[in-house]
A and B are shown apart, each in its own frame.
Chain A
Amino acid sequence: MSSSANTIVVGKKGPRIYSREAVLLGCMLLLVLFVLFTAAASRMYHKKIHVLADDWFDEGEASFRVGDVKSALTDYRNALVYSPDNAKFQFHLAQALAAAGRGDEGRSYLLNLLSESPGSGEVNLALARIAAHKALTNDALRYYHGAIYGVWENNPIDMRWQVRRELAEYLLDHGLQQQAVPEIIALADSTPANDTEQLRIVGNLLLKAKLWTRALDVFRTLLIVNASDEDALLGAATSAFNLGKYNAALDYFDKLPEKNRNSPRVAEMYKTTQQINEMNPFLPDLSREAKARRAATAVSVATTRLQQCATQVGQSLTATPSQTQLQKAFAESKEFTPDESWRNITKHLETVDEVMGHAFEMENAAAAACGEPEGADRALWLLSRSQGVPAQ
């Protein structure tokens, strides 16, 4: 085909050509005008929908603040109609859905947000809470960790600390002690020494996790700042008690105001601590006679407990040869009678350890056969633990 055939056939007369040029010029002018018109319309439109979106969002916030979650949901949804990609709106809607017990519905928005910003601390935390609410531990752990290592726009260090605390509490509440321990230790390590509030929280978490030594350290730090800090005194007393540091525990309990010792758990601990300290022959500054008397009392208490336990389980303590732990422990303790023994012990104070060893053995044997003891027996039994006697 020739090149002339490939060109537009425009005719031979002028006007026809001009008309085509004019059309093209008209199109260009129209295009410019149309662009200007559309730009103006679009600008007005965007302004209007932004206003609407913000208005609905503000209404949603107001409703949410006063606890009207249902209205808040409607308002947030209306806001999203005018600004469907607004991450803030989506996030707040998801939170409102979660608050309304419709976490599954909120989850979808959050997953969408997460796909856009996988490192968002806020989104990960919200997802973690939904997963935690549904007891989906693996998901909860994943999202909590995502939040801990994620990006936070405001106050990131504090937010990460709070998230880890929430995770630790979740794990403890769900009996996942083993997984909670590293989180709590990490939390303790990231807690500034001068932040008493955070230290208090960490101390309590350490108590819950039975990390007594670390807990005692934390509460001691708090007591350095404020020696009459009641929470810290209670925490320190509990830690010291569980560590077998009954002397120190008693000291903390004594400093605790009366009202703080009223709860049954604390009262029992306090009483036990007192008993232990009254029965403990190993305390410094005791007279020879006092030590001997305490040792003899311990043997007496333990023997009585042993006999009661043997009756309870239907065993004869005098059977020969001794077969059970109860019988063996009783046989070994027969050498001591209360009256003779304390005098004997006073004369031979070096035998206190041996005497107490027999008492501990009897308490342990009784505890193994009949369960944990109470009262003086419990005090003696706990004392045995603090002296390093292994439980049977």
Chain B
Amino acid sequence: MTEPAPVTSPGNIPPVTNESANSTSQSGFRTMWEVWTNRVFTMREDRFFLFLAVLIGILSGLAVVCFRIAIEWTQIELLGSSLSPTFPRVILAPTLAGFAVAALVIHAFPRARGSGVNQTKSAVYVSNGYIPFNTVVGKFITCALAIGSGQSLGPEDPSLQMGAGIASLIGRRLRLSQEKVRLIAPVGAAAGLAAAFNAPISAVLFVLEEVIGTWSAGVLGAIVLAAISSVVTMRAFLGPESMFRVPLFRVAKPADLLAYVALGVVGGLASLVFLKWLAYARPRMQSLPRWTQHFQPAAAGLLIGIIGIRLPQVMGAGYPIIDQAMHGQFTWKLLLVLAALKILATGISFLSGTPGGMFAPSLFIGAMLGGAVGAIEQHFFPALPGTVGTFALVGMGTFFAGFLRVPITSVFMVIEVSGNYTAILPVMISSLIAYGISRSYVKVPLFDLLARQDGLVLPSVEEQREQMILTVEDAMRVDAALVLERTDNIAEALKRLEGKEGLLPFLRVRPGEWNFIEHSELHRLAADTSQSHTVEETNSKGPLPFVFRDMSLEEALHWAGDWPALPVLSRADLSKLEGLVTLDDILKAFRKVPVR
């Protein structure tokens, strides 16, 4: 019988060779496990991080599958299986569930409150990626109960937070470095959102746009892997179908795209109304006495139930209703009413502190508005291409872009949730218009606004994105350098410097190698009249680090303090000096940029 190999630290284990692998293959499970873990733990950290991303993706995908099943099940049990719940259910289910949700949030899962996006973001920026697992459990239970009982909220943002929570737990348990724990939460967030939306690209873009705000190559790979693995996992259990089925259409003429301009304007204005309302009402709701929190979700449920008596379409996440709108099942008047009531219902649910997401409601509102605009336009211009469904689809992206202020994500989301590429041009046009309108009148994006109302000043990705990036070109001086060759005569060099006090002499040693010569050094050699001196004989400083005119000024700043001036060279010819830049120049350039 073979003795089990002693457990040793991976650091002490010699590299696994074929020989050792052969020998260990015979020593049972434990040895195999050790070999495997050694391989895992001795792999480069970035590879290990990618491996973890896949693991997180699968776990998040599974969690989202269970979450969606839980919501559906709750809905069937509480509201019944019909799209039009019966009278007692439509009132009682959201009201009673509201009491339960309030009790759970107040007494068991206080961190489960809210949509989940800015909570994840604040976990990344404030708590070093720490999201208690309790929050994941709380989010799962309270959101399933709230959405399943008809509260006008969606499952995507909670899925994002659950994914981030799972990732955070794994990161902590594996004792990853603090930096990795902070980065692993967005990886899980992308996985959760991708599985909830069945849209990996949109999830990756959203997390990069809204949560992290950087395209760092290291984290990008992990985020993409996590999103893919979660979507694959989700599809394995819930099927690969797109969220919505929209008939294909074709934009025949460029002028046809004008039809979507109106949709962009309407979407932008509607998102503005919703944003302004939330921004105004939320602090007031938060300022209510604490005891009212026990009743707020129930009151919201009651109000939504009252709306639901006549229009049950506004209850819940509303995906089947979006699907119906895309198939032209409603008149434009009803579509407008549904959009308005959904804004009202979602606002009520969200402001009451009921946990749940804003993604699904914003898609619902956008689809209804889009459908209404499409139906009205087609009434007056029957020759317009596309169907009401197409407008509803584009409307989803439009409102999403205006409300959540993620224009790139919204374009890809529309493509992914419909599996329809033909809508890309219309959705780009209308989304940009809606985004522009929203941004003009509400300076802070929704999630940043909510965070600020909670007393957190999180970095705004939108502001970062729009910050001016200064380059060397903004600071460099073009005519301030005198280029000297090694063989140049000192007297002649001084002659060229005569009357030009600001001119700084650079010595071109060879292409890519430049030195700096002090004026005093030239004068020192010139004072020796016994013989003729060349520039080569000076004590020049160098070789100087050089910069290019398109490099960021921050990069140039690294070296500028150590040298009197940096040469700005041509990328095509390193022997050609295009200008120079000094520390003073750089600081002056920075001072010119307006500060937020």
Contacts and interface: CB of A to CB of B under 8 A. Distances in A.
A351 B480 CA distance: 126
B387 A111 contact: yes
A161 interface: no
B247 A112 contact: yes
A48 B328 CA distance: 29
Contact of B238 (A9, A42, A109): A42
Contact of A84 (B55, B72, B82, B245): B245
Interface residues of B, number: 54
Interface in A86-129: 104-105, 107-109, 111-112, 114-115
Contacts of B73: 45, 48
Nearest to B34: A21
Given A13-B9, A31-B62, 18 more contacts: A8-B41, A14-B8, A19-B175, A20-B174, A20-B175, A21-B33, A23-B170, A23-B173, A27-B59, A45-B69, A45-B72, A56-B81, A84-B323, A105-B329, A108-B247, A112-B246, A115-B247, A115-B248
17 contacts: A6-B46, A7-B42, A10-B41, A19-B175, A23-B174, A27-B59, A38-B65, A41-B69, A42-B69, A42-B238, A45-B69, A45-B72, A77-B324, A84-B245, A108-B326, A108-B388, A112-B245
Interface in B226-253: 237-239, 241, 245-248
A44 B387 CA distance: 37
- Which of A8, A39, A56, A85 has the largest number of chain B CB atoms within 10 A? A8
B320 interface: yes
B519 to A, nearest CB: 42
A12 to B, nearest CB: 7
B11 A12 contact: yes
Contacts of A81: 81, 83, 320
Nearest to A52: B81
Interface in A17-46: 17-21, 23-27, 30-31, 34-35, 37-39, 41-42, 45
B59 A31 contact: yes
A221 interface: no
A74 interface: yes
B464 interface: no
B303 interface: no
B80 to A, nearest CB: 10
A74 B237 CA distance: 28
A126 to B, nearest CB: 14
Nearest to B64: A38
A14 B7 contact: yes
Interface string A44-66: 01001100100010000000000
B424 interface: no
A274 B449 CA distance: 96
Contacts of B324: 77
A282 interface: no
Given A45-B69, A78-B81, A85-B245, A8 B328 contact: no
Contact of A105 (B59, B323, B328): B328
Contacts of B65: 38, 41-42
Interface in B528-572: none
A20 B177 CA distance: 13
B66 A41 contact: yes
A78 B329 contact: no
A17 B10 contact: yes
A105 B375 CA distance: 12
A329 B44 CA distance: 114
A6 B43 CA distance: 8
State the 10 A-B residue pairs at the shortest beta-carbon distance, nearest first.
Answer: A111-B247, A108-B327, A42-B237, A23-B173, A81-B320, A45-B69, A108-B328, A6-B44, A38-B62, A34-B62
A77 B248 CA distance: 22
B325 to A, nearest CB: 10
A14 B55 contact: no
Interface of B: 7-11, 33, 37, 40-46, 48, 55, 58-59, 62-63, 65-66, 69, 72-73, 76, 81-84, 170, 173-177, 237-239, 241, 245-248, 320, 323-324, 326-329, 387-389
Nearest to B172: A23
Nearest to B329: A105
Nearest to B331: A105
Given A42-B237, A112-B247, A104 B328 contact: yes
B69 A16 contact: no
A336 interface: no
Nearest to A93: B327
B271 to A, nearest CB: 26
A7 B387 contact: no
A149 interface: no
A8 B55 contact: no
A152 interface: no
A165 B174 CA distance: 73
B90 to A, nearest CB: 15
A21 B323 CA distance: 47
A130 B42 CA distance: 67
B45 A7 contact: yes
A355 interface: no
Contacts of B66: 37-38, 41
A80 B327 CA distance: 12
A80 B320 contact: yes
Given A25-B33, A42-B65, A108-B328, A78 B83 contact: yes
A268 to B, nearest CB: 46
A45 B176 CA distance: 37
Nearest to A77: B83
A60 to B, nearest CB: 12
A206 B58 CA distance: 67
A6 B72 CA distance: 46
Contacts of B239: 85
B85 to A, nearest CB: 11
Contact of A8 (B48, B76, B329, B389): B48
- Which of A18, A20, A107 has the largest number of chain B CB atoms within 10 A? A20
B81 A84 contact: no
A7 to B, nearest CB: 5
Nearest to B42: A7
A28 to B, nearest CB: 8
B587 to A, nearest CB: 33
A17 B6 CA distance: 14
B573 to A, nearest CB: 33
B298 to A, nearest CB: 26
A38 B176 CA distance: 28
Nearest to B326: A108
A26 B176 CA distance: 16
A52 B83 CA distance: 12
A41 B72 CA distance: 12
